[in-house]
């Protein structure tokens, strides 16, 4: 069978959300991963298929793409596999989307730009909520400025029941909290002291929250795409509710973020992989609901006067998607962008951030259909 | 004289071996455990033919009995889950036995082997570390001074001058048990169960140790005190642990998140218990050899709400923490007293019934552990 999409990391948290969105939009999807059991519900859909893939083996990736005959490759796997999957896309001449590569891997990915251009295919990196929605919102807002001096952005979220539920990839969270945050400061990338840029901000719908600078890919892509507007400063800030932050902090304090394997009964395991497995067993409490605010603040000038714009995307737990919480903004966004790619709404070739190639109007419309609402200075625009 | 120390390269086992080596001059000491490399490493550090390493799988009874045969005392410093099993091997090998406690439930099972030990004319002393251990003997001492009393409160306090942050004072699994298992409390002459973490109480340990908050936890003193001190009129007995708030919070988080579950997960096709993997990861917080150590521990037995307070105060020594020393040393002393026939009798006994307080306190004092009566050091 020829499929429309192949989703790598298809048995993971975001992969499942994305695949479900694609299936519900009427497309055929192959889920590529290791744990078939995790997607048995999705596989009840006749348009869904499963291919066993071990991403540590590049040949495995290439043969899965070939076997699926999918036009578009959707990468929802851990970011450490981004470059390998892109190389497989080059070999099989398929366009692809992914969920971003924080700082280091994003830079590696952009090095493949020429190869992608030569092959006439595209990779859009960072197609989730942030990076993703945030980038498109920034592109939308930037257009209304003559010049932009500073962009601050990030996310903040909370839940009605203060119990720990995995917000997104434990691997990503733990590296975001332990890698040195990088900000763009007067035209230069600067490593920040995490504690120095800690602060308290008030967020629309979410309320007051402590924020922390973390390393994120927008700092790199914004500086690249909005240079012509004179952009000098970019700060990325994560906001976790206290109950979730405390868990992450404890895990890091106790070394569960370590990548150095321990050996037990002849089996080697990385503490971070173990933490991921154990936390994956936690049940979502009954009635648990999340709310997330993806925000971008832009400061600059319009007609010689100071101008400030605040963009927000407010995402709540949606009926029928309770298990995904506010994660729908990541998994469903990459589904929307991947569909745009397949349907010819994005025609460029090369490696891009969403802010460079995703048409905002259509994208916001699709978000709205999925109850993810975009606000410009407090006024809903989708 | 010959001693076999099971788990002899573990946190407490090391302190036991070091004490035996120093104070039982002509003895032979076997450092035994499942990891021969670790056993060798520690045994060789003494550079003496008196200390030898042996590999042992506790679950292999024949092997264990063979190892134990011909020695005077088996000193059990492995995780308390194996106590009954190891005592069984001691019975077959016909040797004496001491351990570090059975966290109440295991202790109860161990006491049932009393007749068997009497039959072979050997002695088993249960829970002879710091607490249980020193606390039990302090209770005997206090009971002889007071004759009649209604209540005993047992607790302890730690003081770390180095402030190393998160440190495991003893086995992670035992700490988890203390945080999750129902505690026992003697109330009006009846043993009742209380929720883990309940019974919060603020203790004032004086100028040096300051105020520390404690909560009920399961402990083996409660398995024997109600009987040992019934004739003195004991009606109420409580044990509380004190941990810093940060320490408690972290342990509770791990428990709440499922990191201490006994269930198995599949790793590379092998089924492993979650608690075992977490235990392994937490090993990094066990005391490290060579690290600078400067700490003190106070163990307290309080009769009739401050009518009589008996404390034991231990100080760290070189690179060994006070709470390791005051657990390992009593175990070594008891084993030596048995081997030297300074304790006579047979059967399974709690320390408060087996050991003479004054001669035991003297041994402690020699090793820098002081006993205080109402704040005054015993001479």
Q: Are B293 and B287 in contact (CB under 8 A)?
A: yes
DSSP for A40-94, written as a single string: TTGGGSTTEEEEE--TT-HHHHHHHHHHHT-SEEEE-S-GGGHHHHHHHHHHHT-
Of A102 and A333, the structure prediction assigns the larger pLDDT to A333
> Residue B90: CB partners within 8 Å, gap ≥ 6?
B68, B74, B96, B97, B122, B124
Amino acid B124: pLDDT: 98
Summarize pLDDT for A2-53 with one digit per residue, the tens.
999 999 999 998 999 999 999 999 999 999 998 899 899 999 999 999 999 9
Mutate to test the interface with B, among A54, A264, A271 (most CBs of B within 10 A): A264
CA dist A2 and A29 (Å) reads 9
The yes-or-no verdict on residue A236 having pLDDT over 70 is yes
Q: Which of the four pLDDT bands, split at 50, 70 and 90, describes residue B356?
A: very high
Amino acid A191: pLDDT: 87
Amino acid B292: pLDDT: 82
> Tokens 């002509």 belong to which residue?
B26
Helix (H, G, I), strand (E, B) or coil at A354: helix
Amino acid A10: pLDDT: 95
CA dist B133 and B21 (Å) reads 21
Contacts of B276 in chain A (CB under 8 A): 264
Helix (H, G, I), strand (E, B) or coil at B294: coil
Summarize pLDDT for A40-80 with one digit per residue, the tens.
999 999 999 999 999 998 899 999 999 999 999 999 999 99
CA dist B117 and B124 (Å) reads 7
What is the mean pLDDT of the segment spanning A277-301?
93
The yes-or-no verdict on residue B342 having pLDDT over 90 is yes
> A interface toward B at CB cutoff 8 Å?
164, 246-247, 250, 253-256, 258, 262, 264-269, 271, 274-275, 277-279, 281-282
CB contact under 8 A, A254 and B282: yes
Q: What percent of chain A shows pLDDT beyond 70?
A: 99
- The answer, for B267 touching chain A at a CB cutoff of 8 Å, is yes
Q: Which of the four pLDDT bands, split at 50, 70 and 90, describes residue A172?
A: confident
What is the mean pLDDT of the segment spanning B214-227?
95
Query: Among A193-207, B146-160, B166-180, which range has the highest average pLDDT?
Result: B146-160
Smallest CA–CA separation between A16 and chain B, in Å? 22
CA dist A88 and A91 (Å) reads 5
Q: Which of the four pLDDT bands, split at 50, 70 and 90, describes residue A243?
A: very high
Mean pLDDT of chain A: 94
Smallest CA–CA separation between A267 and chain B, in Å? 7
- Of A169, A315, A296, A162, nearest to A242 (Cα)? A162
Summarize pLDDT for B114-139 with one digit per residue, the tens.
999 999 999 999 999 999 999 999 99
Q: Record the tokens describing residue B341, joined without a space.
A: 């026939």
CB contact under 8 A, A274 and B257: no
Of the partner residues A250, A262, A268, the one whose CB lies closest to the CB of residue B253: A250
Amino acid A167: pLDDT: 83
Q: Are B33 and B39 in contact (CB under 8 A)?
A: yes
Q: Buried (b) or exposed (e) across B97-108, using 16+ Cβ within 10 A?
A: bbbbbbbbebbe
Amino acid A196: pLDDT: 64
CB contact under 8 A, A264 and B280: yes
> What residue spans of chain B are helical by DSSP H?
11-23, 36-44, 61-68, 83-93, 105-111, 114-120, 134-146, 172-180, 206-209, 221-228, 245-256, 274-282, 322-339, 351-354, 357-366
- The answer, for B272 touching chain A at a CB cutoff of 8 Å, is yes
Smallest CA–CA separation between A260 and chain B, in Å? 10
Amino acid A195: pLDDT: 62
Of A150 and B344, the structure prediction assigns the larger pLDDT to A150
The yes-or-no verdict on residue A197 having pLDDT over 90 is no
CB contact under 8 A, B257 and A282: yes
Contacts of B285 in chain A (CB under 8 A): 254
Q: Record the tokens describing residue B136, joined without a space.
A: 């039990």
Amino acid A163: pLDDT: 93
Amino acid B217: pLDDT: 92
Q: What percent of chain B shows pLDDT beyond 70?
A: 100
CB contact under 8 A, B258 and A271: no
- Of A275, A278, A132, A283, nearest to A216 (Cα)? A132
Of the partner residues A253, A254, A269, the one whose CB lies closest to the CB of residue B267: A269
Summarize pLDDT for B50-92 with one digit per residue, the tens.
999 999 999 999 999 999 999 999 999 999 999 999 999 999 9
Contacts of B259 in chain A (CB under 8 A): 256, 275, 278
Amino acid A265: pLDDT: 87
The yes-or-no verdict on residue A322 having pLDDT over 90 is no
Q: Are B153 and B240 in contact (CB under 8 A)?
A: yes
Smallest CA–CA separation between B179 and chain A, in Å? 17
Number of H helices, E strands in chain A: 13, 19
Smallest CA–CA separation between A275 and chain B, in Å? 8
- The answer, for B166 touching chain A at a CB cutoff of 8 Å, is yes
Smallest CA–CA separation between B17 and chain A, in Å? 26
> Residue B377: CB partners within 8 Å, gap ≥ 6?
B370, B371
CB contact under 8 A, B257 and A279: yes
Mean pLDDT of chain B: 94
Reading across the β-sheet that carries A350-352, which strands appear in turn? A48-52, A29-33, A5-8, A72-75, A95-98, A122-124, A350-352
The yes-or-no verdict on residue A321 having pLDDT over 80 is yes
Amino acid A178: pLDDT: 85
What is the mean pLDDT of the segment spanning A296-324?
95
The yes-or-no verdict on residue A194 having pLDDT over 90 is no
Summarize pLDDT for B237-285 with one digit per residue, the tens.
999 999 888 899 999 999 999 999 999 999 888 999 999 999 999 998 9
Q: Which of the four pLDDT bands, split at 50, 70 and 90, describes residue B161?
A: confident
């Amino acid at each position: 069978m020829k499929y429309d999409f192949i989703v790598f990391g298809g048995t993971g948290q975001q992969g499942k959300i994305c695949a479900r969105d694609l299936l519900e939009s009427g497309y055929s999807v192959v889920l590529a991963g290791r744990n078939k059991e995790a997607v048995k519900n999705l596989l009840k859909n006749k348009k869904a298929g499963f291919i066993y893939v071990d991403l540590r083996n590049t040949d495995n990736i290439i043969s899965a793409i070939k076997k699926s005959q999918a036009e578009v490759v959707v990468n929802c796997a851990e970011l450490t596999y981004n470059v390998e999957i892109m190389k497989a896309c080059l070999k099989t001449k398929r366009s692809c989307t992914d969920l971003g590569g924080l700082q280091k891997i994003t830079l590696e990915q952009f090095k493949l730009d020429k190869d992608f251009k030569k092959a006439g295919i595209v990779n859009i990196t960072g197609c989730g909520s942030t990076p993703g929605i945030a980038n498109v919102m920034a592109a939308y807002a930037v257009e209304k400025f003559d010049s932009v001096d500073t962009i601050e952005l990030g996310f903040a979220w909370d839940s009605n029941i203060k119990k720990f539920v995995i917000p997104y990839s434990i691997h990503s969270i733990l590296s975001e909290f332990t890698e040195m945050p990088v900000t763009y400061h007067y035209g230069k990338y600067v490593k920040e002291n995490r504690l120095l840029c800690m602060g308290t901000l008030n967020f629309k719908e979410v309320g007051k929250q402590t924020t922390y600078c973390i390393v994120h890919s927008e700092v790199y892509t914004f500086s690249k795409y909005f240079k012509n507007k004179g952009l000098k400063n970019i700060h990325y800030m994560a906001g976790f509710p206290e109950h979730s932050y405390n868990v992450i902090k404890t895990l890091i304090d106790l070394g569960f973020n370590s990548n150095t394997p321990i050996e037990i009964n002849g089996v080697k395991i990385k503490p971070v992989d173990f933490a991921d497995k154990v936390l994956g067993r936690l049940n979502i409490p009954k009635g648990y609901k999340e709310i997330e605010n993806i925000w971008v603040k832009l400061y600059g000038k319009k007609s010689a006067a100071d101008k400030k714009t605040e963009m927000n995307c407010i995402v709540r737990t949606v009926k029928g998607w309770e298990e995904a919480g506010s994660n729908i903004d990541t998994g469903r966004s990459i589904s929307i962008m991947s569909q745009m790619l397949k349907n010819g709404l994005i025609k460029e070739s090369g490696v891009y951030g969403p802010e460079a190639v995703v048409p905002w109007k259509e994208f916001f419309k699709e978000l709205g259909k999925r109850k993810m609402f975009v606000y410009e200075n407090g006024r809903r625009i989708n | 004289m010959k001693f076999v120390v099971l788990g002899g390269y573990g946190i407490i086992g090391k302190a036991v071996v070091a004490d035996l080596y120093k104070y039982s001059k002509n003895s032979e000491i076997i450092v035994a455990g499942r990891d021969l490399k670790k056993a060798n490493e520690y045994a060789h550090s003494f550079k003496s033919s008196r200390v030898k390493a042996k590999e042992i799988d506790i679950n292999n009874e024949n092997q264990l009995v063979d190892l134990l045969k011909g020695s005077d005392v088996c000193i059990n410093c492995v995780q308390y889950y194996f106590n009954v099993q190891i005592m069984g091997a001691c019975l077959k090998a016909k040797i004496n036995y001491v351990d570090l406690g059975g966290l109440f439930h295991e202790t109860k099972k161990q006491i049932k082997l009393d007749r068997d030990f009497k039959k072979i004319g050997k002695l088993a002393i249960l829970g002879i570390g710091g607490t249980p251990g020193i606390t039990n003997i302090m209770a005997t001492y206090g009971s002889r001074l007071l004759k009649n009393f209604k209540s005993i409160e047992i607790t302890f306090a730690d003081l770390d001058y180095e402030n190393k942050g998160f440190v495991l004072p003893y086995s992670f699994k035992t700490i988890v048990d203390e945080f999750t298992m129902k505690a026992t409390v003697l109330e009006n002459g009846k043993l009742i169960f209380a929720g883990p973490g309940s019974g919060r109480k603020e203790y004032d340990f004086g100028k040096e140790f300051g105020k520390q908050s404690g909560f009920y936890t399961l402990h083996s003193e409660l398995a024997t005190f109600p009987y040992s001190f019934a004739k003195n009129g004991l009606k109420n007995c409580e044990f509380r642990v004190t941990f810093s708030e940060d320490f408690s919070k972290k342990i509770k988080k791990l428990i709440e998140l499922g990191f201490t579950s006994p269930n198995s997960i599949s790793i590379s096709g092998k089924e492993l218990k979650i608690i075992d993997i977490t235990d392994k990861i937490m090993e990094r917080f066990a005391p490290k050899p060579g690290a600078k150590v400067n700490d003190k521990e106070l163990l307290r037995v309080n009769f009739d709400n401050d009518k009589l307070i008996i404390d034991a105060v231990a100080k760290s020594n070189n690179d060994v923490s006070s709470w390791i020393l005051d657990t390992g040393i009593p175990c070594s002393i008891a084993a030596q007293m048995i081997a030297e026939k300074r304790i006579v009798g047979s059967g399974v006994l709690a320390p408060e019934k087996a050991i003479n307080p004054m001669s035991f306190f003297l041994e402690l004092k020699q090793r820098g552990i002081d006993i205080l009566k109402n704040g005054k050091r015993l001479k």
